[in-house]
Amino acid sequence: MKKVCMFGLGFVGLPLALSFAMRGCQVTGVDIDEQLVSDLNKGITHHLEFYEGKAIQEILQNQLTQDRFRAISDGSAAMRESDHIIVTIGIPVEEHKHDIGPLLEVCRTVGTGLKKGDLVLIRSTVIPGTTRDLILPLLEETSGLKAGQDFYLAYSSERIAEGRAFHEFEHMPAALSGINAQSTEKAMELMSLVTRAHITQASCMEVVEASKVIENISRDVDIAMVNEFARFCKAMGIDIFEVVAVANTHQRVQLLNPGPGVGGYCLPNALFYLLPKAEELGVDLNLLTTARQVNEAMPRYVADLVLRNLQVAPSQGKIAVLGIAMKDYSNDDRMSPALAVIACLQQSGCKVEAFDPAVPSCYDFKVDSLTGALTGAHGIVLLSLQNGIELMNLDLFRELMAPDLPFIIDTKNFYDPALLKEKGFRLERL
């Protein structure tokens, strides 16, 4: 029975910790957020994850009852009880600048508690080179031990999508590399407890670190491309969703759908993990930088669509925002485009009331019912789909909304245009 210590109990760390607990490991989860630690020990989480028909809440409660998982905020205490340490602390990005401080702070705690024979497996998304150039010397300095000889160190990228975490820990092919063969072997043994898919052993940790960042950026670029096509199609008076569907009948074309922007922790941050290394190496990343700018401009574009359809002065207008999450059926609103769309509308003077039953964050514009958001609204902007947002009750929508031809900005391609027309709505897509 392995004794696993999971640093970070967020969207990755919690389901990963429970995945190891479900396979019989003794797991101690560490998080700096005392409220989170207390909630988790009571079996409370807002995450929307499922495994084999069970919600994460039930899995958490089971593992707590069986004493295979507990959360604490004292990293040093957790280190004393564990020999397999997994780090899932992120590198936040604010105004395009990354902050590696929290990750290094955790590695300092890990180093201080490190014992001979321990394995440290980094699963955070990092600036390529971080594990060897920053984490390794920090662990050696704080522990007084020699990496590869006294303890093992490896990096494996985390590739899950929120909402599919348990399934993807098990079935998504993974990539891994350690600072030496024994480290790779130890990490492989640990990961294989959960991952049944193929685990590629890369030639060095930098390959795995860089591939993870590039995987994320490639999706950001793919989305930016269709978002730019959307602006072109709109100007031309043709429907982007239809254009994408037709283009995708080509056997070598696989366009994504456009959207109101790109949110969450992973895709928007990725470029800002590659740029510092590129600057150090003197490499331009012009295409990637432009793609990021295209996606960052989408919320303003969506807000302008709203304002163009509004038949009253913005200061007299009320807009119902449906869906605050960064993607469909998620509770995560970190860097959500919805927040940027709302900020743009508020800056223009509109009153905004937003509804999203899955997102736990509190905002002054957030209301706790669909009725509350729709009452008196001149228009709706649909930004993410969500269980608990009943979108087909269009007769009720009309009753609640302001009487003059209300509009719906449908960024999800959800509504049938003919139906909306019949129900007396103006529809605008991206």
| Chain positions contacting ligand NAD, by CB under 6 A | 7-13, 30-33, 36, 88-90, 102, 105-106, 124-125, 158, 160-162, 265-266
Task: Say if residues 326 and 359 touch (Cβ distance below 8 Å).
Answer: no
Shortest Å, Cβ 424 to ligand NAD = 40
Looking at the Cβ atoms of 162 and 333, the one nearer to ligand NAD is 162
Task: Say if residues 283 and 402 touch (Cβ distance below 8 Å).
Answer: no
Residue at shortest CB range from ligand NAD: 10
- Residue 166, CA atoms < 13 Å, CB-side half-sphere: 20
Looking at the Cβ atoms of 160 and 255, the one nearer to ligand NAD is 160
Record the tokens describing residue 344, joined without a space.
């743009």
Looking at the Cβ atoms of 265 and 272, the one nearer to ligand NAD is 265
In 170-248 the beta strands, taken as DSSP E runs, fall at 174-178, 199-201
Closest CA to 323 of 242, 419, 248, 391: 391
Looking at the Cβ atoms of 317 and 323, the one nearer to ligand NAD is 323
Fill in the DSSP letter of residue 49: -
Shortest Å, Cβ 302 to ligand NAD = 23
Report how far residue 392's alpha carbon sits from residue 129's, in angstroms, rounded to the nearest whole number.
50
User: Virtual CA dihedral for 272, 274, 276, 279, nearest 10 degrees?
Assistant: -130
User: Virtual CA dihedral for 20, 25, 26, 32, nearest 10 degrees?
Assistant: -20
Looking at the Cβ atoms of 76 and 393, the one nearer to ligand NAD is 76
Shortest Å, Cβ 400 to ligand NAD = 35
CA 220: distance to chain centroid?
13
Residue 409 burial class via C-beta count within 10 angstroms: exposed 0-12, middle 13-18, buried 19 and up:
buried
Shortest Å, Cβ 334 to ligand NAD = 7
Looking at the Cβ atoms of 109 and 348, the one nearer to ligand NAD is 109
Shortest Å, Cβ 382 to ligand NAD = 23
Record the tokens describing residue 76, joined without a space.
């040093």
Looking at the Cβ atoms of 89 and 302, the one nearer to ligand NAD is 89
Shortest Å, Cβ 259 to ligand NAD = 17
Looking at the Cβ atoms of 266 and 321, the one nearer to ligand NAD is 266
Neighbouring CB atoms inside 10 A of 142's CB total 16
- Give one DSSP letter per residue of 111-123, joined into a string: HHH--TT-EEEE-
Looking at the Cβ atoms of 155 and 301, the one nearer to ligand NAD is 155
Query: Strand order of the sheet with strand 152-156?
Result: 69-72, 26-30, 3-7, 84-87, 119-122, 152-156, 174-178, 199-201
Shortest Å, Cβ 10 to ligand NAD = 2
Shortest Å, Cβ 244 to ligand NAD = 25
Residues counted in the chain: 430
Shortest Å, Cβ 264 to ligand NAD = 7
Ramachandran class of 32: left when φ > 0, alpha when ψ lies in -120 to 50, beta otherwise: alpha
Looking at the Cβ atoms of 30 and 224, the one nearer to ligand NAD is 30
Is 94 in a helix, a strand, or coil?
Answer: strand
Q: 């009571």: which residue's tokens?
A: 42
Neighbouring CB atoms inside 10 A of 410's CB total 22
Shortest Å, Cβ 270 to ligand NAD = 8
Shortest Å, Cβ 128 to ligand NAD = 13
Looking at the Cβ atoms of 160 and 430, the one nearer to ligand NAD is 160
